[in-house]
Structures are given as structure tokens and as C-alpha cells.
Structure 1
Amino acid sequence: MTGRLPPRFLWGTATAAHQVEGNNVHSDCWALEHAQPSLFLEPSGDAADHYHRYAEDIAIVAGLGLNAYRFSVEWARVEPERGHVSEAALDHYRRMADACLSRGIAPVVTLHHFTQPRWLARLGGLAAPEFPQLFAEQAARVVRALDGIALVCTINELNLPAIAAPYFRGRATAEQRAAAERVLGAPLSAFFLHVDEEVIFGNGLAAHRAARAAVRAERPGVAVGMTLAISEEDAEPGGEAFRDRRRETYYAPFLDAAREDDFVGVQTYSRMTSRADGSVGLYPGSVATTMGWEDRPEAIGAVCEWIAGRWDVPIIVTENGYVGGDDARRGIFIAAAVAGVRRAMAGGADVRGYLYWSLLDNFEWMLGYGQRFGLVSVEGPRRERRVKASAAVLAALAAGEGA
């Protein structure tokens, strides 16, 4: 591709609080990690200690010449018990935003990235009747406290539990489920990744709308939207109807709702291929990553093209990345993915940013620390940072050297 991307295009990277901060002891996820037997391979522990080392990590983002950093505000830290708001926690996230701004980096803030306070899980989590109102209150207090936010993402991958429920539920043994429900004091469906599908389409979308209204009331100039997990969808002969059904079930209702947002955050990692028998899996002959996904950097461009062909909503690529230990492949993946995004833009897709997942090698939920997405490795008991060679690929693209 030739030609430059728009000058205000967001080039950045992303993290989620629970996956990198460490010691998020008031969250439902922390409780689940320590249940016996646990759904999780290992607990998060200190994670990457980003809570204390955010300044060092944001300096790495700046050193790469990136102009955006997406991070989440951990509700369990801000409101560890219902009605008790920690001003110290809000001050922490205010300092994070200020650290970004002082280096010319746009703060992109996520309000809910899978985790929530234990007290909220006890009420039923997303299924609690009062969840939309409680989430709107949290949204208001966060955006009121943080100055200079560029974008607000309400709920991360709101559609994911609907897509992945069979996978997550299938992993849980009866003993693990019982232990999880003991520590939560609630059904396992109170945890976001196990939320019932009907709750996502009901209370989930209602909570997004309530938070959007709260953000706009507090910060009228701040763009707000949700992020969605969207795979490129393909089909073998005879599988086309199943592919189309997946699109209409898991993506279209949320993209319809996003028409009222300022943007939609698109999070794409791979391609799903529907078969004639209704199953889905890897494209024949494709190579799998360490997560078992098809290694397909072209997927993000294809998704942007598909969205632009039907919905008139600005797109921010809020997550896209390669998982595995082969950092040379990661660099190739990044270059090919960005090329695909640029082709989509040349075809009319209104894409306004590309945020790589993830800045740091991190805690990958039930799978623990074995999966590697990061531009930066976190090594040893002292959590030493090492910037990988693949980071230079993204830096060159952001600087225009790879354009």
C-alpha cells in the first residue's frame, strides 16, 4: 500500500488492569483464581506489577513513538466495598492518565475489562437488576476524576460470553464450578466470562447505554463506545448459512447498537471457518498459534471491510495481535495486519486507530502466564522489562517509515 494514514490516527498498544497490575484482591477474578480446585491454571499474583511500574511502562510506549495507550480502570480498586469509593485508587488512575498526557500519549480508558468487585458478583454481576445503574455511577466517577481522556470504552468485548460460553463452560468440572460458586457467593454466571447469553443482550447492552449517557453527561467532548470480539468469518462449501448465522447472532446486534456510539472498538485475532455440519474451526491447511487460533494477520482488515460495508460507525482497532514465542513472526504479523487495515481504509472503512495487544506479556486469564502477546517481555522475580524486536516494527509503522 502507498500513501499515509490520517495525521490524527491513533497508534498505540493496550493492557487490562487485572492482567498486568497485580494483587487485585477485591475482584471476583482473584477469588476464582484461589478457589480449590480452580478454573485457573495459576493465580495472577503480582502480575507485571504495572500498578507500581506504570510510569516505566508508559515511558516505553512513548519511546516507541506511539501516541495512544489503552488501559482499564479496575472497579474493584475504586469501589472495593459497595458505597466505599477509594479516592486513593482514583488518584492512581489520574496519575496514569497524566503520565500519558505528559508524554504526548492519548489515554484510552476501559471501564470494565472482565473483572468486577466481589460485592457486585455476590449480587449476580452483570445479571443484577441494578447493574446498569451501578455501572453508570462507576463510569461517571471515573471520567469525572480523569482529565484528558481521548476515548472511553465501556465494556470490553461485551459480546464475548455469547460467543465463548460453550468453551468456558466446557472447561469447568463439577468440582471447579462448586468451588467457584463457594468463593463468589453466587452462581458462576456472575463472573463475566460465564455470563448467560440472554443477560448480554439485555442487561449488558442496557449497561453500555447507561454508561455512555453518564460519560456524555460528565465529559461531553469525550468519544465513547464499546469494544467487540469479532473474528473474520469464512465458510467451507455448505457452511455459508452457518457463517451468516454467526455474524447475525454474535456481531450484528452489537454493531446495530454501536450506531449511537462515537466509535466501535474492534478486537480481532483470527478467522473462524464454518463447516457444512455447523461446526467451526481452522481453515484447512492453516497454521495455528499457541492459543489454537489460525495465524492470520489479514483477519483484521477483512473485519474492518465487512463492518464498513454495512454500518456507518467509526472504527478503532482496540486489540489485534500475535500470540506465541516467535517474535520474528510477531513482527511480520503486525506489518501484515496494518497493511490489511490500510487496504480496508482505501476501500472506504473509517478506521481511526490501531492499538496492538498487548504492551506486556501478561496474565491470560484461565490459561495463566504461558501465552505471549506482548511487545515487551516481563522477566524474572523483579519483573524486568525487555522490549522485543517486534516493537520496532510497530514503531516504524507509527513513524511512517513502514508506510
Structure 2
Amino acid sequence: MTFTDLGLDAHLVSRLNRLGFTQPTPIQTQAIPQALQGKDVLGIAQTGTGKTAAFGLPLVAALSTEKARPAARAVHGLVLAPTRELATQIVTTLDALTDSLRITLVVGGKSINAQVSKLARGTDILVATPGRLIDLMDRRAVDLSQTRFLVLDEADQMLDIGFVHALRRIAPRLRKERQTMMFSATMPKQIADLARDYLTDPVRVEISPPGRAADKVAQSVHFVTKEEKQTLLIDLLDGHRDDRALVFSRTKHGAERLMKQLERAGFAAASIHGNKSQGQRDRALAAFRAGSVRVLVATDVAARGIDIPDVGHVYNFDLPNVPESYVHRIGRTARAGRGGRAVAFCTADEMGELRAIEKVLGNRVEVAGGTPWSGQRDTQKPMAKRRPRRRPSRRPARLAA
């Protein structure tokens, strides 16, 4: 199967060839022909499978045939994404696909006045985070009445940021006669409800079962005390200092504290989280991509915005409260056909999270170290109040306050 077989025009296929893309991924193979026919599409596929091009190519193909340029403040195609990082990544991909279309990015953390000025000229494709788009709507800086294409990317994560309420404000501003595409890594009930409310007779394209992790990710879990986590992480990182590693922390303060501990241990580390400015986050990602930073500590704000093919290891220093977030986290490795490793740390009070993750995965995570707390990974009783017996002689120093 080639991109030509999917129905894309020769000019776009030639551009893909120059970019080094000659063979579509499974999600692209199934979604692009349906989208080119103008059908609404509901795409379910794990991260790293090429979903951006699956909606980006049909969007560029359709809008490239438009003879009239967008009017002032008007938008012809709208892409909504949950995070600044993902929105920026989408714009990078779309920019590579076309020279003729005007593509505009609007996200929080950037000058809203500069964004108002860009929108004043009109834009073919607007890529936005929901909150900033509503800010611009309130200022009457954007006109969505001519928007004929709507894309909701990583819709399941947007549910966590109050996206349903935002969509109820945004959708009525768009043309009723439009094509809508929604892509998600998982398929909780809320996504099915969104599809029913905002898509018309959608074609469902599902590449892998909801929650299934990338096939080439080797997953493992260590059962440790909270005090042992830092020492274990340093020991494991020390075994592959030349590789890029992404470490996930549950909290912003925890991520920053852990990053400083890793720096003291001699690692080239950086952090991204909600307390960082957009400029700081952009610089940290750029350094990680360039290789001057080898360990990036992040909260879930980064789980869907990092598209770096050679991240060899993902560490879940803290297990996420939402099991689907685990899938998104480990999807940062094993990208573009490569392999990768995902290592989780589990304390006694995280056994409930581990059980929920394994339920979503449909598999047990291989034990790499320690013993499941109380030997009861199958129990339904909460483990949060149980404290493990500690051995003072083996206990490492606590993390610095």
C-alpha cells in the first residue's frame, strides 16, 4: 500500500517522498481514504502510530483546493489538542506538508495580542488548545462561522481538562455542515458519548484495542518502598547514560525535586511541568531532542506532546491515578518502529493503581524486582493504608525537601 493508493494527489505524495515517507501506517491506511471522501472519522489507535498525518493529510488535501483565501479572522479548518506541546507538534507536521496554506498556532503561555494579530489576517488551519481558543472567542478575535473541518486530537486526554464544557461553547460557532474527525488512544464511555453528539455517521477506525500498549515496549515493574525509589532510579539510569530517558512524576513539585536530585547525581537532566513557563518547557524539550539533556522529568503534561523517536526508556517513578495515562506515558518510547523499555515503580499504596493499569492492558506487567506487596496483586481490598516492613540497613537517604 502506498500513499497514492490512498487517493492522495501526486503533488502531496511527491512531498511525502521528499520527507522520507513512502508507506502509510495502518491508521493512515484506514482513515485517509474515508476522510478524503468527506466522511466523519472516529479513529482509535495507540500513541506513536501516525495519527497526526492520518487527519493532517486529508485536511491539507481538501483545503489546498480552496480558491478563496480565508477572510479576516476566519478559519477554514480547526484542530483542537489538549496540550501546548502536542499542538506545537501538530503544527510542525502540517507545516511540513504544505507551503500554500496559512497555519496558525494559538496556545496558552504565549502573547495573546500576537495571536490576535495573526488571526486578523485569516487562517486556513488553526491549531489550538481549548482554553486559549475560548479566550480569543471572548475577544471576538476569531470567526469560526466558516469552519468546515473540525479535528479533535487526543480526545480522551482532553476530557481531563474540562473539554466537554469547552466543546459546548466552541461547536455551536462552527458551520453545521462540516466534516469532523476525532482521534483518541483509548475509548472510554465519554468518548463514545462525544462521538454520538458531535460526529455524523462516523466511520470507526480502530488499529489496536483501547488501552493496548505499543507492541515493542518491554514493560516491567519494581516493587519498592518510597525511600528506595530514588536510589533505584539512579542505578537503572546509570546503566544507559547515553540513552534518552523520560521519567514521569505525579506532581509538579515532585518532578522538580527529582530533577535536581538527578543533576546532583551527575545526570544531564531537565524538567517540564505546569509550573514552568512555555519558554522553559520549549527549551527543555529542545535540549532533550538535541541530546544535551539525557533525562527529562515530567508530569503528565508531557505524555502526549513529545514525539522524539529515540527515547529508549520511560520510567513511571510514580504510577498515574488514571490507568489510561500509563498507556500514553509509555507510548513516548518505541516510536517510529523502534523498540523501547517502560519501567514502573510500585509502592504499597500504589497497588490499586497497578491493578487498574493491568486491567486496562489486559495483561500482567512483568516483575523485575521485589515482591508484590502482601503477595496479593489479585485482592480487591485497598492497600493504601498498609505500610511495608522496612529494613533500616538497606534504606537509602530520603529525597531532599
TM-score (norm 2): 0.30
Bigger radius of gyration: 2
TM-score (norm 1): 0.30
